[in-house]
A and B are shown apart, each in its own frame.
Chain A
Amino acid sequence: MFGFFQKTASAPAARERLQVLLAHERATMGQGDLVALLREEILEVIAKHVPVERDKVRVKMDRSASMSTLEVDIELRGIAIAGRA
């Protein structure tokens, strides 16, 4: 609907879209820090018992509405942990 003399002001739409988007993005960025923190602490615990190489560690977090998963993938080279009774 374009009136001849005025269009609807667009700034309020910009403001609202930004507020919604940034609320979401700030939460996601915060999650990045959480993953880094978890990675460090998990590494620390594991390193107490077996040697781990820092670049052989992968931490991934998936978030969805119903369930979130944390996936930690650590390569333990040349160590047979199984069979320890």
Chain B
Amino acid sequence: MSKVVVVTSGKGGVGKTTSTAALGAALAQTGQNVVVVDFDVGLRNLDLVMGAERRVVYDLINVVQGDAKLAQALIRDKRLETLSLLPASQTRDKDNLTAEGVAKVMGELRKKFDWIICDSPAGIERGATLAMRHADVAVVVTNPEVSSVRDSDRIIGLLDSKTEIAERGGTMEKHLLLTRYDPNRADRGDMLKVDDVLEILSIPLIGIIPESMEVLRASNLGTPVTLSDASCAPAKAYSDAARRLMGETIPMAVPTDRKGLFGKLFGRRAA
């Protein structure tokens, strides 16, 4: 049984693309067949974060319009053979993304992969609603910051009304992924705490990703953070989140890069 996951947030810049790449790679590392799909037509970036920007030939819109076969558009990751990318179009208009076309592609992807991770564009327009439309599970990416929490609340409302599951009378399985969390600032009372965000949005938590230099470093290199340095705090947090998506129960911890004496003496300078 394949699962379609939408990574969404409403607000831009909170880490949807980074999280899609990191979760996709973490799932693929466990041996599952994974495809990450970029729905951000006109502003694609998943290819860049995955390090596949020079390998894009055909894209989602080509497949939707029948100009290319799905197999021609899929890009197999060079590091992980169980990981593939379906890029968005950079030049075509997003109106070319039709509901029927997307439904057909999703049906084909379901036959080939265990996990289909859809990277939603920001906003609540067509691209975002189509990305969530066929999902079984939603990962709502939120920063501990007022505008992000508000937009996430709005997106949760859409997940519960404008998706296929909702229209059939079902309930979308939703998970909160809290990104760019800084435990020190939260402890000082200068950042919303995990529990504050959970209480306000009232959906279950799937992971807490700490604010970290490693995340930027990974995207600079075009490598999902779970592949670039599997031992760093954000990579561990993403891997745990991926395992929770697979149904495992793993205790939730606020991850830190605190190093032992050895690390302090010989490790890299703290970010």
| B193 close to A11 (CB less than 8 A) | yes
B176-189 CB mask vs A (1 if < 8 Å, else 0) is 00000000001011
Residues 18-51 of chain A, each 1 if its beta carbon lies under 8 Å from chain B, else 0? 1101100110010001000000000000000000
Question: How many Å lie between the Cα of A61 and that of B172 in the bound state?
Answer: 29
Q: Which residue of the partner chain, among B157, B161, B186, contacts A11 with CB atoms under 8 Å?
A: B186
Distance between Cα atoms of A11 and B181 in the complex (Å)? 13
Are the CB atoms of B153 and A15 closer together than 8 Å? no
B4 to chain A, nearest CB (A): 25
| Size of interface on B: residues with Cβ below 8 Å to A | 17
Write the chain B residue with the least CB distance to A7.
B190
The A-contacting residues of B in range 136-170, CB under 8 angstroms, are: 145-146, 149-150, 153-154, 157, 161
Q: Does B192 contact A (CB under 8 A)?
A: yes
Answer whether residue A14 sits at the interface, using C-beta atoms and an 8 A cutoff. yes
Asked whether A18 and B191 contact (CB < 8 A) given A11-B186, A26-B157, the answer is: no
A10–B200 alpha-carbon span in the complex (Å):
16
Interface contact B200-A15, CB-CB below 8 Å = yes
Q: How many residues of A contact B (CB 8 A)?
A: 15
Given A26-B153, A29-B157, CB of A12 within 8 Å of CB of B189 = yes
Instruction: Scan residues 166-222 of chain B and give those whose CB is less than 8 A from a CB of chain A.
Output: 186, 188-193, 196, 200
Which residue on chain A has the smallest CB distance to residue B196?
Answer: A15
Q: Decide if B146 touches A18 in the complex (CB within 8 Å).
A: yes
> Which residues of B lie under 8 Å from residue A18 when comparing CB positions?
146, 149-150, 200
With both beta carbons as reference points, the residue of chain A lying nearest to B195 in the complex is identified as A15
How long is the Cα–Cα vector from A21 to B151 in the complex, in angstroms?
A: 12
A29 contacts across to B, CB distance below 8 A: 154, 157
Residues of B within 8 A of A (CB): 145-146, 149-150, 153-154, 157, 161, 186, 188-193, 196, 200
Known contacts A25-B153, A26-B153; 6 further A-B pairs (Cβ under 8 A):
A11-B189, A11-B190, A14-B196, A17-B146, A29-B154, A29-B157
Chain A residues in the interface with B (C-beta under 8 A) = 9-12, 14-15, 17-19, 21-22, 25-26, 29, 33
